[in-house]
Structure 1
Amino acid sequence: MKLALCVGINDYPGVSNDLYGCRNDAADWAAALTARGFDVRTLLDSAASGLAIRTGIADLLSRTSDGDAVVITYSGHGTWVPDLDGDEPDQRDEAICPHDVAANGPLLDDELSTLFATAAPGVRVVLISDSCHSGTLTRLSRPLGDGRCPTRFLAPSTFLPLGTPTHEAVAPRVTRPRSAALLLSACRDTEYSYDATFSGRPNGAFTYVALTTLAALPPDATYRDWLRAIRAQLPSQNYPQTPALQATPTQHTWTVLA
C-alpha cells in the first residue's frame, strides 16, 4: 500500500497572517503522488484542523504494514512554543499550525514523533514540510503582483496564554528517540521558508522546486539524490532557504517515494 495525506492551509482565522500558495502546494503534491501510485487524501483550510491532521496521520499508519509507504505533506505556517521536557537544545519545541491554531494551539514536533512511532516495523514514513522547523518557524511571502509582501511569522503570542515564558526550558533535559519518519523540510533550523509565485500562480518556493526536480529524477534516485537536486536551485538570491533532510543513514538511501 502507498498512502498519502496532503495538507494545505492558506486561511488562518483569528490571526492576520493568511498565506497564498499552500492550497496549491497540497494540490500539486497530491497530483504527483497520485501519479506515483499513492492513494491520496487532502485536507485544505477549514478541513485541516488539529484534530483532523492528527486523526488523518493516525489512520494512515493504522492501515499499513511491513513494506508499505506513508507520505504526509504539509504546507502552511510553522511556529514554536517553550520546550517543557528539556529535549530541545534551543529550548523551543517546533510546531506546525493547523487551521484552528488560534483556538486550539499548534501540533508540536514531539507529538508528531509520537504519532510516527506507532507505524508498524518496515513501513516507510516520510514527512515533507514546506514550513520552517526551527525556533523561528516562519513562512514569508514575495509580492503577488499587487504589492503584498507580508511577513509570514505566526508569533507564539497568537495562541500562547499571556505571560507564558518563551526563552527558558522549564524541565530537566531529556533525550527523545529519533522520529521514525524521514523529514524533508523547506529550510534549515535558523532560516525562513518563502511563499512565491511562478507564472502568476502562488506556490511555496520549496514545493515548486521539489516537484520540478522530482519530475526529472531517475527511477532509482534516493532521498539524498533528491536533496542534492533541490539544493542546486535553493538557496537562491530571491529565496535564501536551504532545504534539509533529517533521516537515518538507511533512510537517506531509500528510493524516492517508493
Structure 2
Amino acid sequence: MAKHALCIGINNYPGTDSDLSGCVNDATDWADALGERGFSVTRLLDRAASKAAMVQSIDTLISGAVKGDTVVLSYSGHGTWVPDTDGDEPDGRDEALCPWDIHDGQVLLDDEVHELFTHRAAGVRILLISDSCHSGSVTRGDDSDLDAGMPRARFLPPAVWMKADALPRDTARPARLFGGFTRAGGDLLLAGCLDTQFSWDTSFNGRPNGAFTYYALKTLTTLPATASYEYWFKEIRNYLPSTRLPQDPQIFGTRTTRRFKVFV
C-alpha cells in the first residue's frame, strides 16, 4: 500500500496584481509533513503550476494509484468562480482553482477535478486539502500566533482575470460548503472556509502562511497516533474561526471516511 501526494502552491499570479505570500510555504510545509509520514511527494510551485501541469500531475497521481493506496492533493492559492454551463450548480456558479496562468483565462473547474478523480481505481483513498476561496464573519478561536496586520483573501474575483465582455452577472449565492468541490469524487475534503467566506493569506512569527494550513499543521504535530480526520478537524476548530481570521474550516466525507486514521 503506497502513499502519494501532490502539493501545489501559487504566490505569483502575473497580470492580476493579486499576488499572495504564503502559498509556496504552505505547499512546502505540506510536502515536508507528508514526506515524514511516508508519502512520495511531487510539488508544483508558482510558474510550474500552470493549468496543463496541474491537470497532468493530478491525472498521473490518481490514475497511477492502485487498490490500497492513499492519495493526498493539497492546493494553496486563489480560488474563483465562473458561470455554470451544465446546470449542476444550485447557485449557478462553478467553483474553480486558479493556476499560475489564470491571466490567460486558464481555470481548473470543480467539474474538471471531478472528472480527474473518476480515473482512480477501486480501493484508492483520496484526500483533497484546499486552502483557498470565498467571505464571511464570526468571532472566536485562538489567533495569538497571528502577526499584526491585515491578512489577504485568497479569492480572485472574475473581474480580475476575465475580459470585460465575458463577465457574468453577479448573483447572490447561498451558504454552501465549498461549492462543487464537495462532489469532486474523493473520499474526504478538508477546506479552509465555507463557500461564502475567504481563506486568509497571512503571516505567523514573521513567516507567510495560509491560516488554515498553519493551524492544520500545528495541530497535526500533537495528534495521537490513532487520531482520525474527524478528531484532527475538531482540533483545528480550536483555532479557526477567530476574531481576525473569520473563516470556518470544513470537512466533507462520510462518517466512515471521517473516521479513517490520519494519513494512513
- Determine if the alignment matches structure 1 residue 254 to structure 2 residue 257: no
Q: 1:198 & 1:176 partners in 2: Cα distance?
A: 28
Q: 1:148 & 1:220 partners in 2: Cα distance?
A: 37
Task: Measure how far apart 1:184 and its partner are.
Answer: 0.3
Q: Which one-letter code corresponds to 2:100 in the other structure? A: H
Q: 1:198 & 1:220 partners in 2: Cα distance?
A: 28
Q: Which one-letter code corresponds to 1:163 in the other structure? A: D
* TM-score of the pair, normalised by structure 1: 0.88
The corresponding residue for 1:159 is: 161
Q: Is contact 2:132–2:154 with CA below 8 Å preserved after alignment?
A: no
SS of corresponding position for 1:98: coil
Task: Measure how far apart 1:104 and its partner are.
Answer: 3.6
- Determine if the alignment matches structure 1 residue 238 to structure 2 residue 244: yes
Q: How do residues 65-84 of structure 1 correspond to structure 2 at under 5 angstroms?
A: 65-84=66-85
> Residues 44 and 144 of structure 1: is their aligned pair in 2 closer, same or farther, counting only changes over 3 Å?
farther
Q: Is contact 1:17–1:153 with CA below 8 Å preserved after alignment?
A: no
The corresponding residue for 1:100 is: 101
- The percentage of counterpart residues that share the same residue type is 51
Task: Measure how far apart 1:150 and its partner are.
Answer: 5.4
Q: Which one-letter code corresponds to 2:198 in the other structure? A: Y
- Determine if the alignment matches structure 1 residue 229 to structure 2 residue 235: yes
Q: How do residues 204-219 of structure 1 correspond to structure 2 at under 5 angstroms?
A: 204-219=210-225
The CA deviation string for residues 64-83 of structure 1, in whole angstroms up to 9 with x for no partner, is 11100110110000000011
Q: 1:12 & 1:144 partners in 2: Cα distance?
A: 24
The corresponding residue for 1:179 is: 184
Q: Which one-letter code corresponds to 2:195 in the other structure? A: D
Q: 2:118 & 2:50 partners in 1: Cα distance?
A: 21
Q: Is contact 1:97–1:105 with CA below 8 Å preserved after alignment?
A: yes
SS of corresponding position for 2:221: helix
SS of corresponding position for 2:218: helix
Could you tell me which runs of 5 or more consecutive residues in structure 2 were left unpaired when the two chains were aligned.
137-145, 172-179
Aligned residues: 244
Alignment RMSD: 2.3
SS of corresponding position for 1:163: helix
Task: Measure how far apart 1:153 and its partner are.
Answer: 3.4
The CA deviation string for residues 132-186 of structure 1, in whole angstroms up to 9 with x for no partner, is 2x5x69xxxxx977x7865553111233343333347xxxxxx999432111000
* TM-score of the pair, normalised by structure 2: 0.86
> Residues 177 and 40 of structure 1: is their aligned pair in 2 closer, same or farther, counting only changes over 3 Å?
closer
Task: Measure how far apart 1:250 and its partner are.
Answer: 2.3
The corresponding residue for 1:32 is: 33
Q: 1:167 & 1:92 partners in 2: Cα distance?
A: 10
Q: Which one-letter code corresponds to 2:247 in the other structure? A: Q
Q: Is contact 2:99–2:107 with CA below 8 Å preserved after alignment?
A: yes
